[in-house]
């Protein structure tokens, strides 16, 4: 299973970006898809998550500004980031805790390569 993230870049404070992450491989189903981020010198933190049924959760620091969504048919998760702040600067990673393959094998803890988001003040 491969996760390919895209959409990062440089944006001014108050601006918006949309991240995408597509999972590929012999995938039968994915339940939860997450976005994490890691700022320089800090630990990786969970930003948002979404289940296949559409249930979402967010870190307090991004509630009301970020929206996670997904396209189950495309095995793709999105993160719409609005009202960006300099403290949102980080490498953003997509994560899938478990994937059921078409062979009925389960693969655990898959990570994308990360995409850099830089917010200037």
d(Cα 114, Cα 60) in Å, to the nearest integer?
A: 22
Query: Residue 37: its pLDDT value, please?
Result: 98
Render pLDDT for 37-56 as a digit per residue (tens, 0 to 9). 999 999 999 999 999 999 99
C-alpha closest to that of 67 among 59, 32, 75:
59
Query: Residue 74: its pLDDT value, please?
Result: 96
Query: Residue 65: its pLDDT value, please?
Result: 98
Query: Residue 9: its pLDDT value, please?
Result: 97
Q: Which residues contact 47 (CB under 8 A, 6 or more apart)?
A: 34, 35, 36, 37, 58, 59, 62, 66, 79, 92
Render pLDDT for 61-93 as a digit per residue (tens, 0 to 9). 999 999 999 999 999 999 999 999 999 999 999
- 75: helix, coil or strand? coil
Most distant pair of Cα atoms in the chain: their distance: 49
């Amino acid at each position: 299973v491969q996760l390919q993230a895209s959409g990062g870049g440089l944006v001014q404070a108050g601006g918006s970006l949309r991240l995408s992450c597509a999972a590929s491989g012999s995938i039968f189903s994915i339940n939860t898809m997450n976005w994490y981020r890691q700022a320089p010198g800090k630990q990786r933190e969970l930003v948002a998550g979404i289940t296949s049924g559409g249930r979402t959760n967010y870190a307090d620091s991004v509630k009301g500004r970020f929206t996670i969504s997904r396209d189950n048919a495309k095995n793709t998760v999105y993160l719409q980031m609005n009202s960006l702040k300099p403290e949102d600067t980080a490498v953003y990673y997509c994560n899938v805790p478990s994937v059921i393959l078409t062979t009925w094998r389960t693969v655990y803890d898959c990570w994308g390569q990360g995409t850099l988001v830089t917010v200037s003040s």
